[in-house]
Amino acid sequence: MADIAHGLEGINVTATKLCRIDGLKGELVYSGYDIFDLAEHSTFEEVAFLLWNQRLPARSELEALDKTLKSERELGDVVNQILTELYPVVRPMRTLEVAVEILGAQDRNSSDLTNPGLRQTAARLTAKMATVIATYHRLRTGQPVLAPRSDLNHASNFLYMLTGQVPGDLEARIFDVALILHAEHEMNASTFSAIVTASTLSDMYSAIASAIGTLKGPLHGGANEAVFHTLEAIKEEQNIPSYVEAMLSRGERVMGIGHRVYKTTDPRAIILERLGRQLADQSPNRKWFDLSQKLRDYLARKLEGKPLYPNVDFFSASVYQMLNIPADLYTPIFALSRITGWTAHLLEQYGDNRLVRPNAVYEGAESRQYVTVDQR
Ligand SMILES: CC(C)(COP(=O)(O)OP(=O)(O)OC[C@H]1O[C@@H](n2cnc3c(N)ncnc32)[C@H](O)[C@@H]1OP(=O)(O)O)[C@@H](O)C(=O)NCCC(=O)NCCS
């Protein structure tokens, strides 16, 4: 029988200058910069520039990008109106997917696949997707929708539009770092999905809508929300063994654990745990973070010898809890960050496009005689 690369594991589908992962060493590098350095020194805006240009910006370039992003934050009447129709019935990830397609429908240049046109769309989506999620949340909680503030950076402005409070320095910085950590991750499922769509020369909006739909699943971006529901179900440290045993005996997976590429702890989980420790010291809501650490310790013993370690989603759930972000916004927040990586890959793809069209090995019936419906 012909070989099948189940789940495309181990297959190189393209070359990229954006990101390198060493899954055995636990290394994640964006265009030559280690994720630990970026988390320590950089900002989300700077990382967006890095991904779109494969170099860090000069101050003037960073200021120009900041200005562009700020100028693109408003949604306009049509999207706002559609959000008021969607929020009572549609969950946030699908809302984001629909809103991206509406933004594409409104953009008369949506089919402009030149490099400058694509860069404009990338900045537009990066700015507006944050406003979509904040607006959606304000509407569903019956709170007034807040206009974006041009004196705040991307991370702080999002938290402000979401909660109505300008975040403190620590919260703002931790959220900014969370955005940096989620910005890019080589050929993950949602990036691949975006690339497949773009490879037909469909536009960037549709490629991003495909990516959002792919990120939504619990084996990918949806895992961070699922981690929180696991923590809620466990409730107390003493319930960890029985809960995990029951889950594993049913053949279920522990969310936030395991990764296709990392066979050691995901470096982003290490950074998020550190951030979580800083937040926990001043948070009245540290319970879920403490429980995450206990669960991690238990799983390390239980799964010893298997290449199953915490991934990025494991600690992001409790960190976002301490930032008072509701659980169903964790995956949308992943998208608000990953939009930079997705669009950076799309710049590469449109710049050197070839239709993505693999094969399937046929295993079905052969040589059947057609029989009309009244004779079956
Ligand atoms: C991410 C993930 C889909 C990668 O899986 P994969 O590379 O396809 O690995 P496989 O599905 O081939 O699993 C390999 C083995 O590990 C087990 N395994 C993988 N993840 C597991 C988990 N989270 N909990 C328990 N067992 C797990 C599988 O059951 C399988 O066991 P088996 O060989 O005895 O059948 C998987 O680890 C997973 O489902 N994790 C939970 C969801 C999650 O956190 N996703 C976010 C990723 S950033």
Average confidence (pLDDT) over 146-157: 97
User: What confidence score (pLDDT) does residue 113 get?
Assistant: 96
**Minimum-distance ligand 1 atom for the alpha carbon of 248:** 25
User: What confidence score (pLDDT) does residue 1 get?
Assistant: 64
Of 33-47, 255-269, 270-284, 297-311, which has the strongest mean pLDDT? 33-47
Is the minimum distance from the CB of 223 to ligand 1 under 6 angstroms? yes
Average confidence (pLDDT) over 81-109: 96
Is the minimum distance from the CB of 58 to ligand 1 under 6 angstroms? no
- For 74, counting Cβ atoms within 10 Å of its Cβ (0-12 exposed, 13-18 middle, 19+ buried), the class is middle
- For 119, counting Cβ atoms within 10 Å of its Cβ (0-12 exposed, 13-18 middle, 19+ buried), the class is middle
Active site residues per annotation: 220, 259, 313
User: What confidence score (pLDDT) does residue 2 get?
Assistant: 77
User: How does pLDDT run across 323-374, given as a tens digit for each residue?
Assistant: 999 999 999 999 999 999 999 999 999 999 999 999 999 999 999 999 999 9
Q: Of 1 and 156, which is predicted with more confidence?
A: 156
State the distance from the centre of ligand 1 to the C-alpha of 219, rounded, in angstroms: 8
- Distances in whole angstroms, Cα of residue 261 to Cα of each of 19, 21, 22, 188, 223: 13, 8, 8, 9, 16
All structural domains of the chain: 16-209+338-351 (1.10.580.10), 223-322 (1.10.230.10)
**Alpha carbon distance 338, 345 (integer Å):** 11
**Alpha carbon distance 297, 310 (integer Å):** 10
Q: Tell me the pTM.
A: 0.95
* 8 A C-beta contact, residue 190 and residue 214: yes
Residue nearest (by alpha carbon) to ligand 1 atom 24: 253
Residue nearest (by alpha carbon) to ligand 1 atom 2: 259
Is the minimum distance from the CB of 253 to ligand 1 under 6 angstroms? yes
**Alpha carbon distance 44, 36 (integer Å):** 14
Average confidence (pLDDT) over 117-122: 97
User: What confidence score (pLDDT) does residue 24 get?
Assistant: 95
Query: Minimal CA–CA distance to 224: which of 97, 79, 321, 136?
Result: 321
Is the minimum distance from the CB of 255 to ligand 1 under 6 angstroms? yes
User: What confidence score (pLDDT) does residue 239 get?
Assistant: 96
Is the minimum distance from the CB of 258 to ligand 1 under 6 angstroms? yes
State the distance from the centre of ligand 1 to the C-alpha of 151, rounded, in angstroms: 43
User: What confidence score (pLDDT) does residue 255 get?
Assistant: 92
Residue nearest (by alpha carbon) to ligand 1 atom 21: 253
* 8 A C-beta contact, residue 271 and residue 36: yes
State the distance from the centre of ligand 1 to the C-alpha of 254, rounded, in angstroms: 8
Q: In this prediction, what percent of the chain has a pLDDT beyond 90?
A: 95
Is the minimum distance from the CB of 302 to ligand 1 under 6 angstroms? no
State the distance from the centre of ligand 1 to the C-alpha of 25, rounded, in angstroms: 19
Query: Is the predicted pLDDT of residue 3 greater than 90, yes or no?
Result: no
**Alpha carbon distance 122, 115 (integer Å):** 10
State the distance from the centre of ligand 1 to the C-alpha of 54, rounded, in angstroms: 32
Average confidence (pLDDT) over 2-13: 90
Average confidence (pLDDT) over 128-155: 97
Residue nearest (by alpha carbon) to ligand 1 atom 46: 220
Average confidence (pLDDT) over 144-163: 97
State the distance from the centre of ligand 1 to the C-alpha of 259, rounded, in angstroms: 6
* DSSP per-residue string spanning 163-182: HSSPPPHHHHHHHHHHHHHH
Average confidence (pLDDT) over 283-289: 93
Average confidence (pLDDT) over 219-225: 90
Average confidence (pLDDT) over 243-262: 93
* 8 A C-beta contact, residue 190 and residue 198: no
**Alpha carbon distance 58, 120 (integer Å):** 19
Average confidence (pLDDT) over 222-241: 94
Average confidence (pLDDT) over 26-50: 98
Is the minimum distance from the CB of 244 to ligand 1 under 6 angstroms? no
* 8 A C-beta contact, residue 206 and residue 101: yes
Average confidence (pLDDT) over 281-306: 94
Is the minimum distance from the CB of 162 to ligand 1 under 6 angstroms? no
**Minimum-distance ligand 1 atom for the alpha carbon of 258:** 37
Q: Which of 6, 182, 190, 259 to mutate to test the pocket of ligand 1 (most atoms within 8 A of CB)?
A: 259
CA-based torsion, 247, 333, 132, 52: positive or negative: negative
State the distance from the centre of ligand 1 to the C-alpha of 258, rounded, in angstroms: 5
Query: Is the predicted pLDDT of residue 166 greater than 70, yes or no?
Result: yes
Residue nearest (by alpha carbon) to ligand 1 atom 37: 258
> What is the three-class DSSP state of 89?
coil
